[in-house]
Amino acid sequence: MSNKNTPDDDASPAEQAANPSTTFSRRGFLKLAGASGFATAAGTFAGPAKAAPSTPDGTPEQIHLTWGEDPTNEVVVSWASTAAAANPRVRFGASGEKKETVHAVQRTYTDGLNGEVVFTYHTRLHGLHAATTYQYEVTADNDSNSGTPFSATFTTAPRGRAPFRFTSYGDLATPNTGWVLSSPQSRFAVQAVERFQPLFHLLNGDLCYANLNPTQQPEVWRDFGNNAQTSAANRPWMPCPGNHEVEFHNGAQGFDSYLTRYTLPANGTRFPGRWYSFRVSSVLFISLDADDVIYQDGAAFVAGPSPLVPAASTGNPAIQPGTSFYIRGYSNGEQTRWLEKTLRHAADDDDIDWIIVQMHQDALSSSSTGNGSDKGIREAWLPLFDRYGVDLVLCGHDHDYERSYPVRGCNHHASIDATTGEKVDTLQPKPAVHPHASSGNTFDTSHGTIHLILGGGGTSAPLDVYGVDTGNGNPQAKVFTKPNRPIPGTTAGTFTRANADALEDAIWSAQRDTGTGYGIAVFDYDPGQHGGNTTITMNYYHAPGADKSPTQTYELFETVTLSKHRRG
């Protein structure tokens, strides 16, 4: 998401009155009241938010699917309940098959700010048949809907080279306007996924912005989960963590809320759930946590002048003004080593034609009011993308749509310091130059990696404005080139964040949507024929007018086809 680098000047009087002792950054912390939502049946759209039950019980809600270790034969069903569930379980089976029952594993955490205990449940359904539709039911002994338990269907991935569809966006938030950055557009964004009926959906970070609502974090997650359920209960939603999944007092990297709710493919490292990969047909998907390598400090922080004081029941100390949760380098290079190993194996596997990377923050973005680009990603990962032929990188973070040309390599010392104007090295990505690199909107990604900014899920933040053309035909992009932490504000005891510290010509920027910040990317994979080409066609649909008033109308903005020689 975008970081507005100002103190909380835009908080309403009512918001300020709700927090008389503490001032929070608008893009940091702000406490607002909000209602809760219940789960609704899969295949229907969630109705208005409802009040919490008078007696919390084990009724399943926030139901969502993720792929297991092999999407052809394993799916994970996860959910939450307002109280501990008794004998939580899933009953499932394909048409004509005997139904099986799998008991769930309970996973809990206690929110480090308000002290609420969150109960989640996970069942791993394995031994499934490829390309098969299954029906499932989720229930518990203390499920208030046990007479008619929640039920839905999902379809496993195909085996071998077979066509499929997936969708993607980031920065979803919730439809409950009581929370900071939430918007009714979030509901329509979830409905948009169902409109296109993908096999699965990639959710590119900043899921719900709970850390902007610190005293109500679990309730924000709950609203998010019950909204997403209308699609995520029908097909896997595969997330990556963003800067707003980082929460104070919730684990070593602040990811307890995220990690407790999701079961994701194993990565074999000390950091399960932060990054992972899975394969569908001949496409390898790699999901990364860019929080580990970025220079920008994008998580929430206490702007001051008073500390943020957790509930006494947590036993956690107050968080002082100017404190942020800066986790750059937390894996000490382990994620990057895992990434290189994964890419190296893919390069040696003739059954893999495409490599698609998902992460939240951006290596290439020309947004001037959002974050822009981050040199940390360029340093750590773009050389690996070049070396091993990554085809496509999907991000969120900036609330807009932007597409790059295929890029490979970089120009050195081609940028300037934002303050002094002196030459600096931002590792400016270089568009691939090849006579057959592109034809219209068809690109051969064997010559370079295309980066997409898909930050249009559903937040209430305004459309990020792009950098202006400085006279040479290219927009200007902001770049973070060094560690970025909160700095003292203009008022004693308050803090803000500095802007990006360098500027470069965005010679890599090919397309930008200047009309709206909302949209969804729909990808159709065609395996092609042996000895020929394989393609991935992306149709990007945007929601004109959604920045001013939520809308269900998504219209085609552009079509891009990626084409390359099939390896097998």
Distance CA 59, CA 79 (A): 10
Quote the pTM value.
Answer: 0.91
Of residues 105 and 12, more confidence is placed in 105
Q: Which amino acid, 163?
A: P
- Do the beta carbons of residue 361 and residue 468 sit within 8 Å? no
Identify the pLDDT of residue 12: 30
Identify the pLDDT of residue 472: 84
- Do the beta carbons of residue 79 and residue 261 sit within 8 Å? no
Q: Which amino acid, 412?
A: H
pLDDT in tens, 131-141: 999 999 999 99
Q: Which of 10-24, 152-166, 436-450 has the highest mean pLDDT?
A: 152-166
> Which tokens belong to 361?
């923050």
Q: Which CATH number fits domain 13-565: 3.40.800.10, 3.90.1010.10, 3.60.21.10, 1.10.10.10?
A: 3.60.21.10
Confidence of residue 155 (pLDDT cuts 50, 70, 90): very high
> Does 34 have pLDDT greater than 70?
no
Instruction: Tell me the pLDDT of the chain averaged across its residues.
Output: 90
pLDDT in tens, 329-349: 999 999 999 999 999 999 999
Mean pLDDT of 148-169: 98
> Does 31 have pLDDT greater than 60?
no
CA-wise closest residue to 204 among 233, 175, 261, 244: 244
Q: Pairing mode, if any, of strands 392-395 and 450-454? A: parallel
- Region of poorest pLDDT, from 177-191, 268-282, 412-426, 429-443: 429-443
pLDDT in tens, 196-254: 999 999 999 999 999 999 999 999 999 999 999 999 999 999 999 999 999 999 999 99
pLDDT in tens, 530-557: 999 999 999 999 999 999 999 999 999 9
Identify the pLDDT of residue 300: 86
Q: CA–CA distance from 260 to each of 110, 327, 340, 370, 538 (Å)?
A: 10, 19, 27, 29, 32
Distance CA 24, CA 11 (A): 9
Identify the pLDDT of residue 143: 97
Rounded to the nearest 5°, which phi and psi values hold at 118?
A: -110, 130
> Does 111 have pLDDT greater than 80?
yes
